[in-house]
Chains A and B, each alone.
Chain A
């Protein structure tokens, strides 16, 4: 297992470095793809080990407890590796077209492949670190690598997005660091039994959470939610999200939206568990419910008033993260299970949308919704996958998102929070209508099937899709999310039950 973890940490690093040094486009693509497959299989191996009899202790801990993988970490690592795999496949098609259409230079091409591997590496490392301060620093490193990915194509807009991203998120992370220091302080006071909890490891803090000073833990948890919430994109700290997601290349947008947010939310939930053990779960749950509801509201307001494809899905991510934190905030078995399942559903649905927008961007040379018309005639396969993906995103059955949102709603009914249930239903319907109305005009927006369709430069468009590398990354998650909507396999269910027991023990 030790060898496997070391391999896991080195493969993306080596792949990135080789693709930068060797200066061969084909080699860079293949190396990144292989590295992502290896990462995905190793993270699946963690999962299988933890489910098997030998891993019944529930944790893999090596290097003197510096690296601890329990079921929750393994789950997040799997989600990250899955998006890494899909994005590395989609990059092959995206970057080829970007070189052809948008004059991406060779230097920018190799820099992209270096950074996408490093970005994946920093995200894969974050959930397996035991020390919370190291975790925060790793999150800061993800900010730096991904802000340089945002300026893959150097334009004034992308520089603006990257600058906003790095300033807003770095100041957020420093607040989270302050929260971590306060958590450390809360264990170092003369507490209930005069016991000191002199550690920043979440395993230790979680096991001794009842010895922490309650007042300090309350302030510290708020700081953590604000700080890491900046990274997750919870409103009102979401201001960088639409800018960075819309200016980044599509594969990177998918990684930002579907895996980085999960990695940051993972940290909040670890602290949620510790704060719950110290002050009782009522307090942290209230914080997450308020943050969640407000994020859903802000996300949907952004969706309704949107005229750019990628910004639309960025606001949709804010909304989805709001739903997930609402699920964790409502607590209970259904709420937590639903939130975990919704994480998976979001990670499967969101890449489809960003990859689809990438295909549209290359065909129509624009991100404006009103300039994109009649995709069903120009790119039939992309259009089908895109609209099917949108249906799974907004939670139409059968899809994983439907199950997740339904379970969260069920928990709110179970707890008799009818105000929250009513609000959630109204907001979900609003998101459903808004997203599908926008996509409807893009996909089917031409009355006559024989009409000629022009792109933004008034060049007549030829019919045809871009090839397997652009379609397979959309088809694989679509099939998975529909299957999960119809049937949740028993091992997955018992695995998620195990995570629920870790979070709300």
Chain B
């Protein structure tokens, strides 16, 4: 865990960055266009990269530098590039089918954020300073919002982005709470993200070719 006595400017920076990270996930919830989602995800990953870099500089840990660099390469550049490239190649301009409308989604997101805060407060308030509780709560609410995105949007791309937001939440959680996590773990998690995204993209391309759409609303044949 981070030291108890962080300098004041660092407190402010971490608070600000995590607030923006939360905001970017709300941008995703409030949009109907797929490209918006992808850009918001890229910005979110970039903010997480800056946060990791700052923490690396503060704790002077080479591991965190490496992790930050790889985050920039994989989460911030490679994954959005793959997604946007695929959208351009298949000229996908679909709106997303929402099962829950945008205002209700935002209210739901707020509820999940508050829930995440209380959960994390109950869990770690005995031994963690306020700054850690705030950031960990935002990380947890990212995980919840990711799950909410998966269940409330009927497109393969938003399923992928929902999973990616969950992974971002877990990554933020582990960077804030356990900066000493072995480097190998972060490396394989990033590798895993890349492989999963590629696999899911191939599946959605196959789906697009076979059914003519990326909507998952029609996947209702297998029941019972």
Contact = CB atoms under 8 A, between A and B. Distances in A.
Contact of A157 (B143, B173, B185, B222): B222
24 contacts: A137-B188, A137-B191, A140-B195, A141-B195, A144-B196, A147-B203, A155-B210, A156-B211, A159-B207, A159-B219, A160-B221, A162-B203, A163-B207, A163-B219, A166-B196, A170-B163, A171-B162, A171-B166, A181-B178, A189-B127, A190-B127, A216-B124, A242-B222, A302-B224
B24 interface: no
Contacts of B220: 160
Interface in B134-181: 143, 146-147, 150, 156, 159, 162-163, 166-167, 170, 173-174, 177-178, 180-181
Contacts of A242: 222, 224
Nearest to A302: B224
A125 to B, nearest CB: 12
Contacts of B207: 159, 163
A157 B221 contact: yes
B210 A181 contact: no
Q: How many residues of A sit at the interface, in one of the four size bands? A: 35 or more
A324 B173 CA distance: 33
B61 to A, nearest CB: 13
B10 interface: no
B163 A134 contact: no
B102 interface: no
A200 interface: yes
Interface string A11-46: 000000000000000000000000000000000000
B188 A188 contact: no
Contacts of A167: 150, 159, 163, 200
Interface in B188-224: 188-189, 191-192, 195-196, 199-200, 202-204, 206-207, 210-211, 216, 219-222, 224
Given A178-B143, A181-B181, A198-B180, A166 B188 contact: no
Contacts of B219: 159-160, 163-164
Interface stretch (A304-312, A403-411, A495-503): A304-312
Among B210, B220, B224, the most chain A Cβ lie within 10 Å of the Cβ of B224
A172 to B, nearest CB: 11
Contacts, number: 120
A133 B177 CA distance: 16
A177 interface: yes
Q: What is the predominant secondary structure among interface residues of chain B facing chain A?
A: helix
A53 interface: no
Interface string B121-132: 001100100000
Interface of B: 1, 123-124, 127, 143, 146-147, 150, 156, 159, 162-163, 166-167, 170, 173-174, 177-178, 180-182, 184-185, 188-189, 191-192, 195-196, 199-200, 202-204, 206-207, 210-211, 216, 219-222, 224
A197 B94 CA distance: 50
Q: What is the predominant secondary structure among interface residues of chain A facing chain B?
A: helix
B124 to A, nearest CB: 8
Interface of A: 131, 133-134, 137, 140-141, 144, 147-148, 151, 154-157, 159-164, 166-167, 170-171, 174, 177-178, 181, 184-185, 188-190, 198, 200, 215-216, 219, 242-243, 246-247, 302, 305-308, 311
A305 B221 contact: no
A215 B123 contact: yes
Given A171-B150, A215-B123, A243 B200 contact: no
A434 to B, nearest CB: 14
Among A181, A242, A306, A308, the most chain B Cβ lie within 10 Å of the Cβ of A181
A200 B206 contact: no
B199 A200 contact: no
Contact of B222 (A154, A166, A246): A246
B1 A189 contact: yes
A131 B187 CA distance: 13
Contacts of A185: 1, 177-178
